[in-house]
Structure 1
Amino acid sequence: MAWTADDIPSQEGRLALVTGANSGLGLATIQALAARQATVILACRSSRKAEAAQQQLQDQGLSRLELLELDLADLSSVKRAAESVRDRYGHLDLLINNAGVMAPPRRTTVQGHELQFGVNHLGHQALTQALLPLMENRPDARVVTVTSGAQYFGRIHWDDPNWEQRYERYGAYGQSKLANVMFALELDARLRQRSSTIRSLAAHPGLARTQLQPTAIASGGNGAEALVYRLMDPLFQSAAMGALPQLHAATAPSAQGGEHYGPNRLGGLRGHPSRCRVAPTANNPVERERLWNLSEQLIGA
């Protein structure tokens, strides 16, 4: 039997934080969690867009929606957001690292990191590490980090993680998505090592129709790229379907730490959630530890 949002158990009494909450996968994830009575924190860079998303959800009869200003491209904002969650709530049950940027022209974060690596990976690692103390000893606490199929062609540029030389939009995107799943698995290993009650999982949406693709096409200004996306359009599924793997990882009683979920059809492009393989580099504990240490150095710097 295919797993759907109807299979999400009651989330009453649970507090969830979703990054990139105002559209796409994030908004679909919040809709599903709020419908199961979770209190959900919408963590967004734009207060205006967050308020619009909150109103849209309230118009659907959903409540228990909180707003949090969070700019993952600024580690100072990440720190302030984590402190705000600590001061306002004192605990957290579920963290879904969902926000992301895809294939922009080369730009940097406030701290000077390549934007995709900084937002998709470093910002989320910093946020997660700051929030973990609020999740310890909470029943069924989980961290879900959203990656993508780009992990399979990604590689970490150890000597130039910020792509200061020969920047490639999709190469840098692949690096950030590989880093996401490497982080999720390494975090779970470290949590197990210290007998933590928190579980860390990863998920990818397959080909889901969100704002990522049109934004990437517009920023690239490449006619051939736009044509490829038009030809692929029939393969794209809805954001609601694309959100199912991360919702499964976040709520299914059977989901375990260290697992990775994605769509079950067409080689992971679409379908209902099931366990799926991760990029080989992510299964290498030496490489994962190397990335963890590099990331901590970059975050600290």
Structure 2
Amino acid sequence: MAEWTVDDVPDQSGRTVVVTGGNGGIGLEAAKVLAARGASIVLACRDLSRATAAAAMVGGDVSTVELDLSSLASVRRAADELRSRHPHLDLLINNAGLMMPPLGRTEDGFEQQLGINHLGHFALTGLLLDTLVGTPGSRVVNVASSAHRQGRIDFDDLQFERRAYSPAKAYGQSKLANVLFTFELQRRLDGAPTIAVAVEPGIVSTGLQGHVTGRARGLAIAAVVRLVGQPTAAAGALATLRAATDPTVHGADYVAPHGRLNAAGHPVLIEPSKASRDADAQRRLWTESERLTGVRWSFAPRGT
């Protein structure tokens, strides 16, 4: 089978694409390709000055919206703005993230990796769902990580209020949450014109590593990137682009690089962790995410 490359991205004319954290890294690289194929791009970013600079690099029909995923109030404002400006949304790429910082809390009191990587995106997607479902052929792409394979959801202490804080364990929990969310979303979208896909970009050198706590851990990650990771952020964006545009990709698919440890290479469909396929955990996380964010999804699952 031929390797999937950037040349396989089909024409995107007429499509409106929202990329969270699209001011750098794989989000920016994906936005560049989608804009070059004719899509209208919205960069949803915390820092509007950086978003404006990134928009100049993207070119074409591109705009920005302020989105701070660490604040549910900001998420609601951004969703309101997106709905008012765009009568249809073809693609939501939940790309922004935080990786292994010291313990911190969001504006709403969540452990910041869970809050930004999962809960903020859960809320944003829910608030945009009517617009997405009203757009035939639309997709939600959630950017996860191989770290989801080591992740464990501790429903008794999601926010690390009782257990000792581990940046790596918190990151793994948040990335597993991304995949659990994707699969439960797809179950609830059954029969709708929208699909949900999860993606693993591989090991990529981006600004994400700038949050890593501890010099030794930072140096170790940098060494791994050099040895087995993707050569560029553009290469890391390929899995996102395939998940977002390949007509042969279906709901609840998981796209990742084909190489050793799925660290680099061309994007293929692979099987995620067994834990991510736990239907009870998917439903429980969904219910807890609704409770924490206050976003109650209006689109009812088929058969419920």
TM-score (ref. length: structure 1)? 0.94
Aligned-partner Cα distance in 2 for 1:25–1:231: 19
2:255 aligned with 1:255: no
Q: Secondary structure at the match of 1:37?
A: coil
Shift of 1:171: 0.3
Aligned-partner Cα distance in 1 for 2:223–2:121: 33
Partner residue, 1:284: 278
Partner residue, 1:90: 87
Give aligned pairs, total.
291
Shift of 1:230: 4.0
Q: Secondary structure at the match of 1:40?
A: strand
Partner residue, 1:229: 221
Letter in 2 for 1:300: G
Q: Secondary structure at the match of 2:128?
A: helix
Letter in 2 for 1:160: D
Partner residue, 1:185: 183
Shift of 1:91: 1.6
Q: Secondary structure at the match of 1:95?
A: strand
Gaps of 5+ in 2: 296-304
Partner residue, 2:161: 164
2:98 aligned with 1:101: yes
2:268 aligned with 1:274: yes
Shift of 1:145: 0.3
1:112-149 superposed Cα distances (whole Å, 9 cap, x missing partner): 00000000000000000111100124231100000000
Partner residue, 1:202: 198
Letter in 1 for 2:255: Y
Letter in 2 for 1:51: T
Partner residue, 1:173: 171
Gaps of 5+ in 1: none
Partner residue, 1:215: 211
Cα root mean square deviation, aligned: 1.2
Partner residue, 2:301: none
Shift of 1:227: 3.6
Moved more, 1-10 or 142-151: 1-10
Shift of 1:246: 1.2
The answer on whether the counterparts of 2:209 and 2:218 sit within 8 Å (CA) in structure 1 is no
Where in structure 1 do 4 or more consecutive aligned residues deviate above 6 Å? none
Q: Secondary structure at the match of 2:119?
A: helix
Shift of 1:284: 1.2
Shift of 1:164: 1.6
